[in-house]
Amino acid sequence: MSADPQRSSVTEPLQPDQDQRKCGNLVAYWILGLCNNFGYVVMLSAAHDILSQNFNQNSEEESSSHSEDNSTRECNPTSTGAILLADILPSLAIKILAPFFPFLVHVRMLMVVVLAAVGFLLVALSTREWIAVLGVACTSLGSGLGEVTLLSYSSVFDKNVISTWSSGTGAAGILGASSYAGLTSLGLSAADSLLLMLIVPVVMAATFWFLLRTPGSRLHAWRSVIHCSNIDEEKTQQRPSSASVTESETSAVESAQLLTVIEKFKSIPPLLVYMIPLGLVYLFEYFINQGLFELIYFPNIWLTLHEQYRWLQVDYQIGVFLSRSSVNLFVVRKLWVLALLQFLNVIFFTFEAVYLFVPSVWIVFAVVLWEGLLGGAAYVNTFYRISVEVPFEKREFSMGITSLSDSIGIGLAGAIALPVHNILCQLPKPY
C-alpha cells in the first residue's frame, strides 16, 4: 500500500539537497511561466500596431491622420480581436489534443522553444499582414503547448510550483506589455522591439534543461530530446533510489500513466466546477481587452491613440500579476463570484466604448487594474484548488484539460469582438 506523497513530505524532513532542489524548482517554474506567456502577451500588446498599415514604421503618424477627422472614431480596419483569434485558436487546438498524446515532455519543450523563436522572427520581419498573423499563430502554438505540458508536468513537483508558475505568467504580462510599450515609446520600431525579445526562448530553454531538477540526470534529459524516447518509462528505469522521489510518488505517477482514454473522459464532468467560471472570466476580460480597449480614446492627453492601447494592456497585466501571486495569502473558493464581477466590468466598458462618458483616463486605468485582479485570481485559484483537491493520479490530466477553458473563453471573446468592432466603429463620436 502506497502512502500519500504529500503526507510523506511532512513526516520526513527534507535533506539539504532536497530542500535546495525544491527551491530551485520553485524558481524554475516562475521563470518558465514568465517565458511561456511572454510572447503571447507581447503579440496582444502589439495587436493595434500589427493591424495598422505601417507596422514596420512608427505607428504614430497613422494616429495623427485618424485624428484629422473629428466626426468618426479612431478605428483600425480590422478589430484587434483578429490578432486575439490568431493568438489563441492554435493554442486551443493544441490544448485539446495534447492531453491525449504520449507525454514526451522534453520533445514538447523543444518544440515550444522553437515555435516561440519563429513567432518573434516572422512578426518582426513581416512585410505582409498574413505573415505577421502566421507569426502570431506560431507564438500561440508554442505558448499553448508549453502551458498544457508544464501544468501537467507540475504534478510530479511540490504543489507550490503552481503558485510560482502563476506568478511567473503574471510577471510575463507586466514585463511583456511594459517592455513593448516602453521600447516603442523610446523610439524603437515595433519590429526591432520584437527582435530584441528573441532572448526569451533562450532563457526558457536554459531554465528547463539546466535549472529545473527533474528525476534523472540532465545528460539523460538531453539524450531523451535527441532520441525522442519515452521519457517517463526511461526515468522510471534510471531514477536514483534516494535522491529523486519516494516510492509513493513513483506509484502515483505509474497510476496516472495507466489512465485510459475512457477514464480521462469520465474525469471531465467533475472538473466543470473549475472550468466554467474560469472560461467565463476569460471570455469577459478578453472581450474588454481586445474588443473595447481600442475604442476607448481620450484625445488631447499625453498619450497618443496607440500609446493608450499599449499602456492599458500594461495596467491590466499589473493587476493579473498581483492577483496571480496571492494564492499563498488567501484562496478564493467561490470562483463564480469572480465571473459575475468580471461581467459587471463588461457592462461598464461597453457603455464607455459607446458613449465615452468617463471624464478621466485615470478612472479607466483604475477599473482596468481591477479587471486584471479578477482575471489573475480566477486563474491561480482554479489551478491551485485542482492541485490540492483532485487525486494525484488524475491531477496531470486535470491540469491539462482545465487549461482548455480559458482558451475557449478567449477564442469566443475574439469572435465576438470582430462584429462588435464593426458596429461601434460606424457610430459617430459622442463629442
Handedness of CA 405, 406, 411, 415 (dihedral sign): positive
End-to-end CA, the chain: 73
Tell me how far CA of residue 163 lies from CA of 25, 167, 321, in angstroms.
12, 6, 11
pLDDT of residue 30: 93
Give pLDDT tens digits for 134-145: 999 999 999 989
Predicted model pTM: 0.69
With 0-12 / 13-18 / 19 or more C-beta atoms within 10 angstroms meaning exposed / middle / buried, residue 7 is exposed
pLDDT at 224: 43
| Residue appearing with cell numbers 510560482 | 164
Phi, psi of 282 (to 5 degrees): -70, -35
Residue 256, classed as helix, strand or coil, is: helix
Q: What digits encode the pLDDT tens for the residues 227-236?
A: 433 434 444 4
Query: Would you say 35 and 46 are in contact if contact means Cβ atoms under 8 Å apart?
Result: no
| pLDDT of the residue at 162 | 80
User: Residue 328 has what DSSP assignment?
Assistant: T
Cα(76)–Cα(132) distance, integer angstroms? 16
pLDDT of residue 34: 94
pLDDT bucket at 226, cuts 50 / 70 / 90: very low
Pick 324 or 121 by higher pLDDT: 121
CB 317 within 8 A of CB 108: no
pLDDT digits over 410-422, tens only? 889 988 988 888 8
Per-domain residue ranges of the chain = 17-55+76-222+259-426
Contacts (Cβ under 8 Å, ≥6 apart) of 48: 59, 76, 80, 294, 306, 309, 310
- Judged on CB neighbours under 10 Å (0-12, 13-18, 19+), 261 is exposed
Annotation: CATH topology of 17-55+76-222+259-426: Growth Hormone; Chain: A; (1.20.1250)
Nearest to 409 by CA among 363, 367, 346: 346
Residue 384, pLDDT score: 82
Tens of pLDDT, residue by residue over 2-60, are 444 444 444 445 455 666 677 888 999 999 999 999 998 898 888 777 776 455 554 44
